[in-house]
Chains A and B, each alone.
Chain A
Amino acid sequence: GAGVSQSPSNKVTEKGKDVELRCDPISGHTALYWYRQSLGQGLEFLIYFQGNSAPDKSGLPSDRFSAERTGGSVSTLTIQRTQQEDSAVYLCASRVSGGAGETQYFGPGTRLLVL
């Protein structure tokens, strides 16, 4: 079946602009995660969704970052007033809920470059 998809695959923006990153999880996966991968910080957790709720937003680096999920499916990560330090690869992952579904499956990522 189809895996996790993300769009756009690459995004170049100017400092101060807003960007939206999209994630389409594997069908039936109720848990969805956003991670960020940057040279200096490695792979960091950003936010977790269970259904449309986000019980863990602890990894969002500032209030410029927000995310939502609608219909228990597609999620959008929004970065407002982008800064150069936001340049990174943003990875989305999804997982089946329940004890047998611990493994997270990742999308191809969105490479964000802020000029």
Chain B
Amino acid sequence: AQKITQTQPGMFVQEKEAVTLDCTYDTSDQSYGLFWYKQPSSGEMIFLIYQGSYDEQNATEGRYSLNFQKARKSANLVISASQLGDSAMYFCAMSPRSNDYKLSFGAGTTVTVRA
């Protein structure tokens, strides 16, 4: 079984600044994927970034980067140059690289970007 922990229920960030969202995980699987999703108030889950457990380099996608520290079992999301449209709930998730790849999610972090 997998467990995902997001310890920050809510965060405020100033527009144009960077913000780091924490995520730690626990799994007995050797091979797995880590994901971050954004859920704005509209409710849709938007895929942001993916990191495979065997990827040596940290994933980056535009203003999003994933700080992957395998030994510490952490997969923090960094959003650079925050924009007002970044205000949303952010979920960390993982799936084992097995037949079903089903996702386990953390509780989420609400980010509010201030002008």
Q: Whole-angstrom distance from the CB of A77 to the nearest CB of chain B? A: 15
Contact between A105 and B42, CB atoms less than 8 A apart = no
A103-B50, A106-B44 as given contacts; A31 in contact with B101, CB under 8 Å? yes
A35-B103, A43-B91, A56-B100 as given contacts; A108 in contact with B50, CB under 8 Å? no
Chain A hits for B47, CB < 8 A: 103-106
Q: From the candidates A56, A95, A111, name the one contacting B43 in the complex (CB within 8 A).
A: A111
Contact between A102 and B101, CB atoms less than 8 A apart = yes
Bound together, the chains give a CA A61 to CA B110 distance in angstroms of 27
Bound together, the chains give a CA A73 to CA B91 distance in angstroms of 27
Q: Whole-angstrom distance from the CB of B106 to the nearest CB of chain A? A: 8
Contact between B45 and A91, CB atoms less than 8 A apart = yes
- Interface size band for A: 20 to 34
A103-B47, A108-B43 as given contacts; A55 in contact with B33, CB under 8 Å? no
Q: Whole-angstrom distance from the CB of B77 to the nearest CB of chain A? A: 15
Which partner residue on chain A sits nearest B49 by CB separation? A103
Q: From the candidates B35, B37, B45, B103, name the one contacting A45 in the complex (CB within 8 A).
A: B103
Q: Whole-angstrom distance from the CB of B91 to the nearest CB of chain A? A: 7
Which partner residue on chain A sits nearest B35 by CB separation? A103
A55-B100, A102-B95, A108-B44 as given contacts; A42 in contact with B105, CB under 8 Å? yes
Instruction: Identify which of residues 17-59 in chain B touch chain A, using a CB-to-CB cut-off of 8 Å.
Output: 33, 35, 37, 42-47, 50, 52
Q: Whole-angstrom distance from the CB of B15 to the nearest CB of chain A? A: 27
Selected A-B contacts with CB under 8 Å, 15 pairs: A31-B101, A35-B103, A45-B103, A50-B99, A50-B100, A55-B100, A93-B45, A95-B101, A103-B33, A103-B47, A104-B47, A105-B47, A107-B44, A108-B42, A108-B44
B→A interface (CB under 8 Å) = 33, 35, 37, 42-47, 50, 52, 91, 93, 95, 97, 99-105, 107-108
Known: A35-B103, A102-B52, A109-B44. 6 other contacts (CB 8 A): A50-B99, A50-B100, A103-B35, A104-B95, A106-B37, A106-B45
